[in-house]
């Protein structure tokens, strides 16, 4: 067996399987309510789109106590004929194992990568355990580009409500696109396809006892694939329906986790991103169509109040690394009435680049630094909501596209800050 310790019955199961063509992994932790649907969708995906392939489903569990394991064991398709009409179906194998290491999604993924390596699979995918919108077609769209197209990494592309995924839309997508030169729209989407070779490559990286293993695995997988010149594409999966989060809620912990991981990767791959001059489109698979999306509640007054409080309480901390021009803007913005409140793309890009450079230089305790971004992020989100209140999805996407172009244009500003302080 490879680097992780697996239970004896799991080792026996792997030895029985010996080798496989396709593996889909699901990291699980107390997902009894949703996991049955996800497991069934994967099984039908195997049977419908890969009937002649040897397929394995791996559930990597973080210690569920709500009956998740029982739901998985009982989640079977009783009558494939009613779904598939006529297909020669090769039965899929199912492995359920606890993962080892520090608690977190990354440790669960490591177990999945290890089993994929042992079974020498050609193509893999991982999907979230709380999906309500997954269909069997997701398995085809995440796996086929690897098997038939020679791609190493398949990022997801979803339609989401215009106020869902605001950390992705305002920070992670513009930043990764500007840095590494690939337009991967959902770099932290949670559902990915990848080659067996890329799984082996991930296992060579010494990150499994770090914050990556707790909560930075999605952005790490995407960035590692792009920065190491693996062949990357994206597949349109339709709607991503999950428990929505109010973009005005206290997201400081999530910001710290996601943005912190992105900033750490900037240190690891600074030679790569400093030389990436412009971004290029990423090959996209799947038929794109309009989808119904669940509404998301937004409390604008509360968001602007949090921004104003942040300017009052954090101005001394911010003034250490935000330039005078940005600080003057923030003081003025804090006094604006709601109807006039606006944080332009140019200011926002400079704010993120100043935070990245301050993290690189360790000017301030990293956790304090990143959590101090929260009121600025909430203010920027409020500005975006005001600007797009009556906008259709296409108009909103155009505004995000413009923000990305500004991040790219401001890259020289980032490099000057980075080198000035580094």
List, for residues 117-157, the tens digit of each pLDDT value: 999 999 999 998 888 889 999 999 999 999 999 999 999 99
Handedness of CA 100, 191, 234, 388 (dihedral sign): negative
**Is the predicted pLDDT of residue 35 greater than 90, yes or no?**
no
Provide the pLDDT confidence category of residue 409 given band limits of 50, 70 and 90. very high
SS3 letters for 343-393? CCHHHHHHHHHHHHHHHHHCCCCHHHHHHCCHHHHHHHHHHHHHHHCCCCH
Tokens of 237: 């999966």
**Is the predicted pLDDT of residue 86 greater than 90, yes or no?**
no
Quote the pLDDT of residue 287: 85
Provide the pLDDT confidence category of residue 90 given band limits of 50, 70 and 90. low
User: What's the pTM value of the predicted model, to 2 decimals?
Assistant: 0.90
Quote the pLDDT of residue 347: 98
Q: Please tell me the distance from the alpha carbon of residue 84 to that of residue 256, in angstroms, as a whole number.
A: 45
Domain boundaries, the chain: 8-285, 300-421
3-state secondary structure of 194: strand
**Is the predicted pLDDT of residue 84 greater than 80, yes or no?**
no
Closest CA to 243 of 104, 126, 130: 130
Provide the pLDDT confidence category of residue 83 given band limits of 50, 70 and 90. very low
Tokens of 57: 């489903």
Task: Find the mean pLDDT for residues 235-256.
Answer: 72
Q: Where are the alpha helices (DSSP H) in 1-121?
A: 8-17, 35-49, 68-74, 81-84, 105-118
Quote the pLDDT of residue 251: 72
Quote the pLDDT of residue 242: 65
Average pLDDT, rounded, for the chain: 87
Quote the pLDDT of residue 294: 63
Provide the pLDDT confidence category of residue 91 given band limits of 50, 70 and 90. low
Q: Which residue has the higher pLDDT, 20 or 291?
A: 20
Provide the pLDDT confidence category of residue 1 given band limits of 50, 70 and 90. very low
Task: Find the mean pLDDT for residues 356-376.
Answer: 95
Superfamily the domain 8-285 falls into: Spore Coat Polysaccharide Biosynthesis Protein SpsA; Chain A (3.90.550.10)
How do residues 278-323 score in pLDDT, each as one tens digit? 999 999 999 887 766 666 778 899 999 999 999 999 999 999 999 9
Quote the pLDDT of residue 390: 86
Among 5-9, 35-39, 216-220, 403-407, name the one with the lowest average pLDDT. 5-9
Q: Please tell me the distance from the alpha carbon of residue 72 to that of residue 38, in angstroms, as a whole number.
A: 9
Among 97-101, 200-204, 238-242, 282-286, name the one with the lowest average pLDDT. 97-101
């Amino acid at each position: 067996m490879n680097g992780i310790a697996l239970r004896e019955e799991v080792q026996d199961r792997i030895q029985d399987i010996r080798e496989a063509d396709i593996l889909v992994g699901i990291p699980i932790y107390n997902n009894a309510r949703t996991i049955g649907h996800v497991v069934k969708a994967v099984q039908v995906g195997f049977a419908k789109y890969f009937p002649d392939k040897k397929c394995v489903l791996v559930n990597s569990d973080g210690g569920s106590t709500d009956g998740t394991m029982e739901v998985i064991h009982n989640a079977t398709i009783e009558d494939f004929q009613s779904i598939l009409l006529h297909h020669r179906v090769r039965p899929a194998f199912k492995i359920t194992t606890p993962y080892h290491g520090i608690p977190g999604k990354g440790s669960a993924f490591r177990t999945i990568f290890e089993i994929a390596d042992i079974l020498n699979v050609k193509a893999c995918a991982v999907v979230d355990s709380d999906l309500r919108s997954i269909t069997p077609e997701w398995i085809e769209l995440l796996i086929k580009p690897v098997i038939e197209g020679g791609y190493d990494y398949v990022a997801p592309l979803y339609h989401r409500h215009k106020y869902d995924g605001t950390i992705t839309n305002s920070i992670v997508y513009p930043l990764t696109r500007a840095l590494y030169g690939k337009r991967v729209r959902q770099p932290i989407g949670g559902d990915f396809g990848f080659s067996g070779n890329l799984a082996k490559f991930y296992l060579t990286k010494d990150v499994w006892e770090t914050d990556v293993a707790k909560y930075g695995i999605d952005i790490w997988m995407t960035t590692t694939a792009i920065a190491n010149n693996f062949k990357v594409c994206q597949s349109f999966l339709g709607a991503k329906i999950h428990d929505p989060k109010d973009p005005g809620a206290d997201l400081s912990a999530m910001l710290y986790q996601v943005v912190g991981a992105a900033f750490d990767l900037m240190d690891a791959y600074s030679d790569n991103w400093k030389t990436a001059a412009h971004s290029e489109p990423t090959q996209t698979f799947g038929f794109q169509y309009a989808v119904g999306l669940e509404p998301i509640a937004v409390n604008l007054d509360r968001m602007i109040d949090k921004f104003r409080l942040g300017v009052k309480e954090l101005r001394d901390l911010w003034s250490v690394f935000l330039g005078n021009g940005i600080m003057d803007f923030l003081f003025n913005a804090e006094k604006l009435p709601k109807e006039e409140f606006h944080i332009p793309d140019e200011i926002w890009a400079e704010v993120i680049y100043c935070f990245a450079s301050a993290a690189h230089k360790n000017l301030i305790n990293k956790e304090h630094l990143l959590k101090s971004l929260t009121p600025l992020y909430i203010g920027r989100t409020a500005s975006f909501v005001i600007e797009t209140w009556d906008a259709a999805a296409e108009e909103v996407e155009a505004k995000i596209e413009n923000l990305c172009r500004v991040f790219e244009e401001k890259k020289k500003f980032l490099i000057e800050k980075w080198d000035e302080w580094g």
